Amino acid sequence: MQSKALNYVLEEPNPRQREFLLAQSRFVAYGGARGGGKSWAVRQKAKLAALYYPGIRMLLLRRSYPELRENHILPLQSELQGLARWKESEKTFLFPGGSRLRFGYCDSDGDVLRYQGQEYDLIFMDEATQFSEYQFSVLTACLRGANHFPKRMYLTCNPGGVGHQWVKRLFVDRQFRPGERPEDYTFIPARVYDNRVLMERDPGYAAMLENLDPDLRRAWLEGDWDLKAGQYFAGFRRECHVVRPFAIPAHWRRYITLDYGLDMLACYWIALDERGRAYVYRELYRPDLIISEAAGLIKEMTPPGEQIYARLAPPDLWNRRQDTGRSVAEVFGREGLPLTKAGNDRVMGWYDLQEWLKVRETGGQKLPGLQIFDCCANLIRTLPALQRDLRDPNDCAVTPHELTHAPDAIRYFVAGRPCPGAAPSREQYHFGMQKPKADPLGRGERRRVL
């Protein structure tokens, strides 16, 4: 294959890669299993487009810059010698005729905002299942321009990751929402056996995939999208673990648990009934707060008279800051919110949380030990999205970092060994009615005791 701009000879692609290079839908996803030759196909598509359409603007993204550098920038610096010039300050290859291939990353949802307002003709999302649906949606708005160049987004993907569900919905299940046109979406499945170059040069790679545990083997070798590959809390079910808010009885013991950093405050109010079952009933999830602002918001969201048994926090909040000599815990205490140090053994904490989420027979009902009010949207979003750490499957992955704040806060709660609420004595009832001091919404409703 040759461009009409320069005599560039393309290595022979395999049949699946050829489909990818020739696809003309607005959104093209390529992959499914590992080892299908996705990165090579992306680089070739970008080079061909740059040479065929002088002046075209392209953006190639991965989740982190180190991955981007190893998988694309370094190989392209070798492959494009004599064809394009690398400009380090802009992380961009400049081609003859004005074509540009820029490189970027999105480690968190906030990172994608740096691309707002920019225009690209082609966008490549490498390992798209590592991106959130929000990031994908923001980037689609950058796919525009008043020129004759095609406007397309090319995605490579494997099952698993934070973006598993949205990629599967659009490209595998083809379940479209209003405004999404089926003809705009093409999926090209590929497996390691389609990549004959890899099979010839590294036959042991396929053998390694064949020896994985059954779930990972079906996802990474066979490209099975019906598995929640790598999901840590695979037993989480919205219909089981999420409930509508209700008025919490006054005798239930209430806790606050939090994970604090300048990038995010994740804070939750949790109540335990007399059987030891927990209900997460209020959420504060806010970035960019200094310590006093974080403490002020927590006090503001705690209604007067709501008795909090303990405020659980990670041990690192007791580390003294070099600039002030005070710890975060000390500042919280001065703001009237004394903290209790929770354990920070990650693996045991996640094991404990698995036990809390497990469904058991309770009072004739099968219920989990922990349920979440549906107003706690960020916890409901991030808890099931947590992935296993590929280096230690007993632990959760710490990336994408944005997903870790809310689950970490709940981990500190279970590590704090919370105690059940004490059942009220008969004298506390009057004509079958009990008036709680405050419900989770602060309305002080009366609750009938059956």
Tens of pLDDT, residue by residue, the chain (450 residues): 344 445 566 778 888 889 999 999 999 999 876 666 888 899 999 999 999 999 999 999 998 899 999 999 999 999 999 899 999 999 999 998 999 999 999 888 888 888 988 999 999 999 998 898 889 999 999 999 989 999 999 999 888 778 888 898 899 889 898 999 999 999 998 876 666 665 666 667 666 766 766 666 666 666 677 656 578 898 888 889 999 999 999 999 999 999 999 899 999 999 999 999 999 999 999 999 999 999 999 999 999 999 999 999 999 999 987 677 899 999 999 999 999 999 999 999 999 999 999 998 776 788 999 999 999 999 998 898 888 887 888 999 887 788 899 999 999 999 999 998 887 765 544 433 344 444 444 444 433 332
**How many whole angstroms separate alpha carbon 222 and alpha carbon 32?**
8
Domains and CATH numbers, the chain: 15-220 (3.40.50.300), 238-434 (3.30.420.280)
Instruction: For residues 222 and 199, give the distance between their C-alpha atoms in angstroms, rounded to a whole number.
Output: 15
DSSP strand pairing (447-448 vs 433-434): antiparallel
Structure tokens that stand for 249 in this block: 């009885």
| H helices, E strands: number in the chain | 15, 19
| Three-class secondary structure of residue 93 per DSSP | strand
Question: Strand ranges (DSSP E) for 118-196?
Answer: 122-125, 152-157, 185-190
* Phi (first) and psi of residue 298, to 5 degrees: -60, -45
CA-atom Rg of the chain in angstroms: 26
Provide the residue type at 435 as one letter.
K
Q: How far apart are CA 44 and CA 30, in angstroms?
A: 14
Assign 222 to helix, strand or coil.
Answer: coil
